[in-house]
Structure 1
Amino acid sequence: MQSHPYFMPLLLVAVLTFCYSCYQRLQLVTAGAAENRFDRPGERLAGVFSYAFGQRRVLSRPFGVNHFVLFWAFLLLLVANADFLWQGLFPGSGLSALPEAVRHPLELAFDLVSLLALVSVLVALARRLFFAPSYLGNDYTKPCSGEALLILGMIATLMAAYFLMNAARLAPGSQTWQPVSRAVSFFLQGLPAATLDGVASVSWWAHAIVLLLFLNLLPRSKHMHILTAIPNCYFRNLDHPAVPPREEFQMGNRFGVSGVEQFSWKDLLDSFSCTECGRCQDLCPAHNTGKSLNPRRVVHDVKVNLLEKGGKPLIGPKGDGTSSEESLWDCTTCGACLSVCPVLIEHLPKIVKMRRHLVQEKARFPEELLNLFENMEQRSNPWGIAPSERGKWISVLGERSFKPGETEYLFFVGCAGSFDSRAKQTTLALATTLDRAGISWGILGKDEICCGDSVRRLGNEFVFDKMARDNAAMFRERGVKKIVTACPHCFSTLKNDYRQYGVELEVVHHSELIAQLVGDGRLKAPKKAGQGKVLFHDSCYLGRHNDTYAAPRAVIEAATGGVPGDFERNRENGFCCGAGGGRMWMEEQTGARINHERVKEALKQQPDTICVSCPYCMTMLEDGLKDQGAEKVRVRDIAEVMAEALNDR
């Protein structure tokens, strides 16, 4: 093989251009606010092997196998392409200079991997052309966009050029461990030597030019994720769920995010790591019901805005690089986008940060939230009911105040469980169930205040901060060590968010505690509660946000003697009821109602009972069933089902 005199300057220009493009992009990332993502390196490395190299979330869907093959082919062929470039500078060196015992196995591996890569590219192309899922395209990109076709075409060209180049160089009868290239060489038999040299030369240059063009296209396209996805997995949020960061309320501070430079550097790295696969929008309940929110678009807008160096408003009229206020308020904070993203992009925290700006700096939020914020500030509950009413539900059971040093569990009833007439039935059911198991529990009564979940997710961090501080001080003063609650929002907030305030408590959801009591033999139900066909609806804040899926199902099975049925979309892929993220207190102005979509999904299975483990889900599903004229279907909390079964003994 002869040297190529023009190749060295071409390679030098291409590499320098690539490095400069990467520098430009990464310099933009460093403009973000500081954030510590360098702790616990062992866990971070484990995540890289699981999510990046193991393609854990990619493989959760059938077509993910194709991407898995393409990903690993790309990694393995990095060695082959590095050798290709090296030999372009120094012919006869590199792989060709290795002993046959080493060279031949490598040639075999590169040949077979190149074939796998070519097949994967053709499958991906066919998918986009003929049976593309809806989520591959949206309002700013299409399944068969020019960029997508260009990238697939370039990879296919690289593989074809590789095979032609090797095939043209193979002498008849020569020993080689390149079966695919050998097969291609059969089509070149009989050609003059000069023609074969020409085929080899053209193929070599085609491979070289396309490879260098591909290299320089990466940092200037959505395919920069090839360079940033692995680091993005390393710098992932290790705290599950993704709890919003605290704010410091001091004079001169800015609150929330109104421009890309106010995001953290990790938020900005996210924007360059997005593969635009569309999985987040596929699971998003707001997007699925015709609302303006598209989590993929939110991340895309951050990138576009960043590339223009913040030249556009981040929040404003919908446009490329700008997220509309309407779309930000559409979010239910269900966490579906977080749970499905292959490269662990954090959509939800970005939305909450932008909500904070709207609420705390601009005082711009949906009108119906004004009463909520005022009620929370003045009476520490969403309805504005007098605190003295909080403990009235317990009158039928007698005095049950939490006594420091004597009571094992603080029963944190929550606002819904204290004031909502339907949710109070769940509260009583749980209380009587705990009594049957001999659990020592007590309440705070009028001294209990809201945990602050809704106001935090809605962006009113100032009110949440006050509530969290007051609750933290009360827990310390009264010596609270263990908390049980029937509300997943209280559960998640007390367990996860309050750690930012130095509160380290054993917080359990009632499904976990009841399941444990059943397992310990302290609760024995007759397993015949007459519920008929039972479906279980997963609460987002219990399931996706806290990985609790088995406990509520175990409670239902213990109470009824049968495994509950599942919605078509369940567990990690469950569909929100529509009440999270403060949406419980807002109206749905556009598209279909989320709770209607969930109820319709349930009614396809003709259930007799829908079981829930959340007071918000209870309200939304009952309202949805009424709107659909299906009041005959009952909605029961798991505590009610267990209490009824225990009463049958």
Structure 2
Amino acid sequence: MQPNPAVFTLLLLVALAFFAVSLYRRLGLVALGRPGYTFRGVGAAVREMLLYAFVQKRVVRKLFGLNHLVIFWACISLVLVNVEFLVSGMVPSLRLSLLPDAVYLPVRFVSDVMAALTLVAIAFALVRRTLFPPYPEARTFESYAILLLIAVHMIAYIGVSGAEIALGHERGAAAMPVSSRFAAVLAGYPEMHVRATFGFYWWLHAAALFAFITVLIPFTKHLHVFTAIANCFLRRDGKPNTQPPERFEPNETFGAGQVDRLSWKDLFDGFACTKCGRCQNVCPAAATGKPLNPRQVVNDIKVNLLANGALLKRGGAPALPLIGDGGTGSVAADAIWSCTSCGACMEACPVFIEHLPKLVGMRRHLVEMEAKFPEELLNLFENMEQRSNPWGIAPSERTKWCSQLDVKPFEAGKTEYLLYVGCAGSFDSRSRQVTVALAQILDRAGVSWGILGKDEKCCGDSLRRLGNEYVFDRMARENVALFRERGVTKVITPCPHCFTTLKNDYRQYGIELEVVHHSELIRTLQAEGRLRLDRQVSELGEIIFHDSCYLGRHNDVYDAPREVIAAVTGAAPVEFDRAGGESFCCGAGGGRMWMEEQLGSRINRARVEEALRKNPDTVCVACPYCMTMFEDGLKDRQAGQTRVRDIAEVVAEGMRPRP
């Protein structure tokens, strides 16, 4: 009954050789990428791999992820019997049946049940992909081929096992309920028919395995069976909330104008992508009709690498541009500039692909090498270079907000905290009100604080995210030198963009600051009993809280602002349908604050519409950019009855007599 071992051995060796050569040719191209990766350490890496690759923590966030978990673990549980199949095909006497019953029978039971569960899961997956696809382009031949081949594999396994039971060659029949049912069907047929059935399913099983080895794993997204696990192991040390610095030397090339200018990890991400569409579904640019699709960007980078890899290895020029017209294998400039750097794509990705660094790398090339960027950014860049703020206002105007207050300059050894006001808090008329409210809170709580006044400069957040790394580098070095000169070690800021830049980006310049967002400090002051209010705030009505991307996803600050609101008003804020780690961007991050939305619909309007569905009286924010975007969106919507307040303003209300 056993097929010819010599024939099978030859076919298997050819398939394995083809598999090895194919993987080497494809994955070997990753070495073209630039260095730039911080390893977490073996212990942490293994822990992350087990949690996210094997337990699939991010996959099962969505209900249908449980279906994928079943398929994944079915494949894992069948590894042993598939190895047995391949080995016994070459040496028929080497079978799992050599094991004692205490080991052999549980293996057969688990394999049998998991094969049946996989067929059920595949049926659900086919129905879902056909009727309720995870994203519009999900109905592909590749996806259906993978699902159907897995199903064929499981059917073949049950067929082989059932035929062996019917022939009396399987002592584990009692532990194999599914295969035994098939064996019962075969029991009424002549032995010759059963042997023929065995041979058919055996070769069907072999064909399915050979198809996986030679085609599906090396040349389709099913390669992620291996690369996704590796990507979880290689997860970045810390959150991807900063960008790698550049070295500004003569004759240096900046940014990622071609695929080998990306990091090797960026290139490996392309092979790890499962094309699940989670990044696409949470992207605010994609949701509002803009040309950016994070999933497609990752795929285009992979396609570009495959198209240009051999040429680049030989030192030649790429045949397919990385930044082009948006055709397959090229990323359109409009897509690159549509990113708000909100990080939703990276938070949603189950295998930790990092989309943002790739887009920033391409922005750097467009800005620093080609001077090709949206026209409105020219004024921003000039204002930053000449007057160190986005508006180009004279630095002497930075202290206008405190003209009616007794605000002291920061003095090393005498002042505990530097209040880093930020450009919005200094120059934007609406955000100045927030700065005044924060100053009053700090004074009420007896906090020792001071400002840099006209010597304060922009932190450079927008410059870095827009790809103007050269000017950011200069400003960051100047700020770091100023902080050291003034003896600054602790910083308070009401702006999440300043917060993340001072806390995370400036570490690359050798300074470790203790940076707190004003919501965190206010919560601490409340908890310590240092901040006592005169009354509980009720006149703001029902409050809904919006998570800033740079405070929440980029820095995991979610609880502090909610706890502050609850303490001041006596009630927890209303939540958006998309809140916390799934919060929808206001549209101002990644430098988009300074750009017009000329493609698709406005992101801030989409978020405002989501807020208004909850009928709030007040939208509470903790970011000056979010403040601007919500107020503009509410004006567009003519929803003047809904007010916008920063968390500091909500607290300051409790310090005033009841109106």
Displacement of 1:235: 1.4
- The answer to whether the aligner puts 1:170 opposite 2:165 as a matched pair is yes
Rounded to whole Å, the distance in 1 between the matches of 2:197 and 2:41 is: 53
Q: Which moved more, 1:255-264 or 1:45-54?
A: 45-54
CA displacement 1:229-278 (0-9 Å, x = unmatched): 11111112212233110000000110000111111110000011111111
Equivalent residue, structure 2, for 1:48: 49
> What is the root-mean-square deviation in Å for CA atoms of aligned residues?
1.3
Displacement of 1:534: 0.7
Identity of aligned residues (%): 56
Partner amino acid for 2:570? G
Equivalent residue, structure 2, for 1:494: 502
- Answer whether contact 2:269 2:298 (CA < 8 A) is retained: yes
Displacement of 1:39: 4.8
SS of equivalent to 1:276: coil
- The answer to whether the aligner puts 1:391 opposite 2:399 as a matched pair is yes
Rounded to whole Å, the distance in 1 between the matches of 2:241 and 2:573 is: 30
Equivalent residue, structure 2, for 1:24: 25
Equivalent residue, structure 2, for 1:447: 455
CA displacement 1:444-463 (0-9 Å, x = unmatched): 00000000000100000001
Equivalent residue, structure 1, for 2:311: none
SS of equivalent to 1:213: helix
CA displacement 1:154-212 (0-9 Å, x = unmatched): 11011111111111121488662111100111221210000000000110000001111
Partner amino acid for 1:111? D
Equivalent residue, structure 1, for 2:140: 145
- Answer whether contact 1:529 1:644 (CA < 8 A) is retained: no
Matches within 5 A, 1:25-104: 25-104=26-105
- Answer whether contact 2:494 2:622 (CA < 8 A) is retained: yes
- Answer whether contact 1:518 1:524 (CA < 8 A) is retained: yes
SS of equivalent to 1:535: strand
Rounded to whole Å, the distance in 2 between the matches of 1:581 and 1:564 is: 27
The counterpart of 1:410, out of the listed 412, 418, 428, is 418
Rounded to whole Å, the distance in 2 between the matches of 1:73 and 1:498 is: 46
Gaps of 5+ in 2: 309-317
Equivalent residue, structure 2, for 1:573: 582
Rounded to whole Å, the distance in 1 between the matches of 2:278 and 2:243 is: 23
- The answer to whether the aligner puts 1:2 opposite 2:2 as a matched pair is yes
Equivalent residue, structure 2, for 1:200: 198
- The answer to whether the aligner puts 1:116 opposite 2:111 as a matched pair is no
Q: Which moved more, 1:97-106 or 1:144-153?
A: 97-106
Rounded to whole Å, the distance in 2 between the matches of 1:150 and 1:111 is: 23
Displacement of 1:101: 2.4
Displacement of 1:38: 3.5
SS of equivalent to 1:396: coil
Rounded to whole Å, the distance in 2 between the matches of 1:2 and 1:384 is: 82
Rounded to whole Å, the distance in 1 between the matches of 2:516 and 2:38 is: 28
SS of equivalent to 2:159: helix
Displacement of 1:311: 2.5
Displacement of 1:570: 0.8
Partner amino acid for 2:470? F
Q: Which moved more, 1:427-436 or 1:98-107?
A: 98-107
Rounded to whole Å, the distance in 2 between the matches of 1:640 and 1:44 is: 43
CA displacement 1:385-437 (0-9 Å, x = unmatched): 00011012112112410011010100000000000000000000000001111
Q: Which moved more, 1:67-76 or 1:199-208?
A: 67-76
SS of equivalent to 2:341: coil
Displacement of 1:3: 4.9
Displacement of 1:529: 3.4
Partner amino acid for 2:637? Q
SS of equivalent to 2:492: strand
Aligned residues: 643
Equivalent residue, structure 2, for 1:244: 243
Gaps of 5+ in 1: none
Partner amino acid for 1:345? I
SS of equivalent to 2:655: helix
CA displacement 1:27-50 (0-9 Å, x = unmatched): 111111122343522222221112
Partner amino acid for 1:467? M
Partner amino acid for 1:213? A
- Answer whether contact 1:380 1:449 (CA < 8 A) is retained: yes
Rounded to whole Å, the distance in 2 between the matches of 1:455 and 1:35 is: 21
Rounded to whole Å, the distance in 1 between the matches of 2:178 and 2:127 is: 22
Rounded to whole Å, the distance in 2 between the matches of 1:175 and 1:562 is: 62
Rounded to whole Å, the distance in 1 between the matches of 2:326 and 2:277 is: 19
Equivalent residue, structure 1, for 2:213: 215
Rounded to whole Å, the distance in 2 between the matches of 1:180 and 1:144 is: 31
Rounded to whole Å, the distance in 2 between the matches of 1:80 and 1:202 is: 18
Rounded to whole Å, the distance in 1 between the matches of 2:49 and 2:657 is: 52
Rounded to whole Å, the distance in 2 between the matches of 1:169 and 1:200 is: 7
- Answer whether contact 1:317 1:323 (CA < 8 A) is retained: yes
Rounded to whole Å, the distance in 2 between the matches of 1:454 and 1:567 is: 27
Matches within 5 A, 1:518-533: 518-525=526-533, 526-533=535-542
SS of equivalent to 1:345: coil
The 3 A distance-change label for structure 1 pair 171 and 551 is same
Equivalent residue, structure 1, for 2:409: 401
Equivalent residue, structure 1, for 2:608: 599
Equivalent residue, structure 1, for 2:652: 643
Partner amino acid for 2:578? R
- Answer whether contact 1:291 1:591 (CA < 8 A) is retained: yes
Rounded to whole Å, the distance in 2 between the matches of 1:245 and 1:297 is: 23
Equivalent residue, structure 2, for 1:294: 293
Partner amino acid for 2:210? L
Task: Output the TM-score relative to the length of structure 2.
Answer: 0.96
- Answer whether contact 1:559 1:642 (CA < 8 A) is retained: yes
Equivalent residue, structure 2, for 1:156: 151
The counterpart of 2:642, out of the listed 633, 642, 648, is 633
Task: Output the TM-score relative to the length of structure 1.
Answer: 0.97
CA displacement 1:295-322 (0-9 Å, x = unmatched): 1111010011011024200001110000
- Answer whether contact 1:529 1:645 (CA < 8 A) is retained: no
Matches within 5 A, 1:512-523: 512-523=520-531
Q: Which moved more, 1:174-183 or 1:613-622?
A: 174-183
Equivalent residue, structure 2, for 1:536: 545
Q: Which moved more, 1:205-214 or 1:40-49?
A: 40-49
Rounded to whole Å, the distance in 1 between the matches of 2:560 and 2:38 is: 32
- The answer to whether the aligner puts 1:588 opposite 2:597 as a matched pair is yes
- Answer whether contact 1:241 1:496 (CA < 8 A) is retained: no
